[in-house]
Structure 1
Amino acid sequence: MKETLLKVWDHLEEFFLIPSLIISTGLIFFQVIMRYIFRNSLSWSEEVVRYLYVWQTWVGVSYAARNGSHLRITMLKDRLPEKAQKVLEVFVVIVWVGFAVFVMIQGLSAVHAIASFGQKSSALRIPMQICYMSIPVGMVLMSVRLIERTIKYLRKSEGGSAE
């Protein structure tokens, strides 16, 4: 059971990103067929794809943090001694997590504001806070992934196992 939960956690982002990309691609294809062959477009498909794209973006931030694939400039870090590199890495992660917490708080504020107005999407009539909830969810996931990577990095650099 523990191994299964760890496997799910390790691939959490993919469990959302892969199916949502397939659904988005299928809906866009279906919309093109409807529009150009049947001369009739669907009102809801563009909205679903738009909101899935927003969620993909914010969950994708966490995925990139987990894999260490965010764009980084390491020119300064590469010139430092190993101990200074560790200190710099920890400092960068602290700043990054601080930024993520700030964005998460702002995202929660936006979710609260949208919820208080009772705003709904135009075609599907779903509450708009569902779309905006992607911001705090993505930032929480990214923060956890950054902390995980940093712990693994520090353990690895101390001569321990990275896993």
Structure 2
Amino acid sequence: MLEGDDIDDSQYVSGLPGPLGVLDAVIARLEAVLLAIGVMLMAANTVANVVGRYVLGRSIYFSEELNQALIILITFAGISYAARHGRHIRMSAFFDALPFRLRKVMMIVITVVTAAGMFLLAWYSFDYVLTQASRGRQLPALQIPQWWIIVWVPLGFFLTGVQYALTAVKNVIDKDIWLSTNTLEGYDDSREEEV
């Protein structure tokens, strides 16, 4: 980083030991950069298109295609980001009613199964990207290969799978229940452990 940068590196510190912590921190930085760039480019593109349309009387001809590509980027970088912060929708009625130890086991099972599902989706979406690349189609306005804008799909699924796998590891090595590598479950079970 350059001297004087105001980026807070504490958000990239992982609670995992050794190489897993480094991997977690690298993924956190990658997610943040992809999301920031995607949102800023989408905002700039949209504002420029509106100004062009209503002030200059001409739209940017590739604006819609660019925003489609950025929506895909933001969505699939965002699923990994949401997993990192424990923000995915959870159906937790039964889970919440379980005692601490059973919730702990269930969280490990849930994160392992979800990681496996994400890796499977990453594999299928990677195959789809290769199929699209072999077809040679181009976007009409941007004149770039169509597969370039969907390459974020397998990457997003893969990073989400890694995030859930890291959460499973965190739950195995730590005494608490973790929704993600840095989000602790919001229950106080100290009384249950004493019983």
TM range (shorter): 0.7 to 0.9
- Normalised to the residue count of structure 2, the TM-score between the two structures is 0.74
Q: Does 1:17 align with 2:40?
A: no
Q: Please list the CA deviations of residues 109-135 of structure 1 after superposition, one character each: whole Å capped at 9, or x if unmatched.
A: 211111111011111111111112111
**Which AA in structure 1 matches 2:64?**
E
Report how far residue 158 of structure 1 moved: 5.8
* Higher relative helix content: 1
Q: Please list the CA deviations of residues 14-62 of structure 1 after superposition, one character each: whole Å capped at 9, or x if unmatched.
A: 1110122111101101101111121111112221121011111011000
- Percent same amino acid among aligned pairs? 26
Q: How many residue pairs end up in the alignment?
A: 159
Counterpart in the other structure of 1:116: 134
Match of residue 54, structure 1, among 72, 76, 85: 72
Report how far residue 11 of structure 1 moved: 2.3
Distance 2:50 2:140 in 1: 20
Of the structure 1 ranges 150-159 and 88-97, higher mean CA displacement relative to structure 2 is found in 150-159
Match of residue 97, structure 2, among 76, 79, 85: 79
Counterpart in the other structure of 1:91: 109
Would you say the 8 A contact 1:110–1:132 is kept in 2? Answer: no
Counterpart in the other structure of 2:4: none
Report how far residue 8 of structure 1 moved: 4.0
Structure 2: stretches of 5+ with no match in the other structure: 1-11, 14-20, 183-195
Q: CA RMSD in A?
A: 2.3
Q: Does 1:126 align with 2:144?
A: yes
| SS of aligned partner of 2:68 | helix
**Which AA in structure 2 matches 1:125?**
Q
Q: Does 1:105 align with 2:123?
A: yes
